[in-house]
Amino acid sequence: MEFVGQVIYVDNVEETLDFYYQAFGLSTSSVSDNGEYGELDTGSVKIAFANHPYAQAHFKQGYIRAHPKQPALGFELRFSCTNLCESYDKAVLAGAEPLCPPSFRETQHYAYVRAIEGTLICLVQS
C-alpha cells in the first residue's frame, strides 16, 4: 500500500486553489470541468480539494467540516521552504491566519498559519 494523497472538503474549490497559489506558490495541476474537485501540483503525493456536495455524493456518513471560525481539525499539512520569515509573511498577506510566528526549537525552524478553509499549515525551513 502507498499513500497517494489528501483530499480536503471545502466550500469553494477554485477559491481554495487560488489561495494555496497566492500563499505558498503551489500551482493547480487539474480542476474538474464543474469546479467541484481540483488538485495542487505537489509532486507524487497530491493535495486535492473537493466541495461538500462532491463528498456527500461519494459517502453518506457525516463528517466535521473544516472551518476557519471553528477549532482546527486534528491534522496539519507541512510545507518545506528556504526562507521561513518570507514564506510566513507571504501566507499571511494572502489571507492565512497567523498562529505561531517563525520560531526555533531544537534543530527545527517552523511557523504555523491557518488556511482560509481552516486547515493547519506548518512551514518548516529546510
pLDDT digits (tens, 9 = 90+) for 24-33: 999 999 999 9
Alpha-carbon distance 36 to 57, whole Å?
A: 11
Cα three-residue angle 38-11-76, rounded to 5 degrees: 75
Q: What is the DSSP letter of 12?
A: -
Enumerate residues 6+ apart whose C-beta is below 8 A from 118: 66, 67, 68, 70, 72, 73
Q: Please give the average per-residue pLDDT across 108-112, as a whole number.
A: 96
Spatial contact of 48 and 40, defined as CB atoms under 8 Å apart = yes
Give pLDDT, residue 102. 97
| pLDDT 10s digits, 10-63 | 999 999 999 999 999 999 999 999 999 999 999 999 999 999 999 999 888 888
Instruction: Give strand pairing partners of 7.
Output: 48
Q: Which string of DSSP letters, residue by residue, matches 66-121?
A: P-TTSPPPS-EEEEEES-HHHHHHHHHHTTPEEEEEEEEETTEEEEEEE-TTS-EE
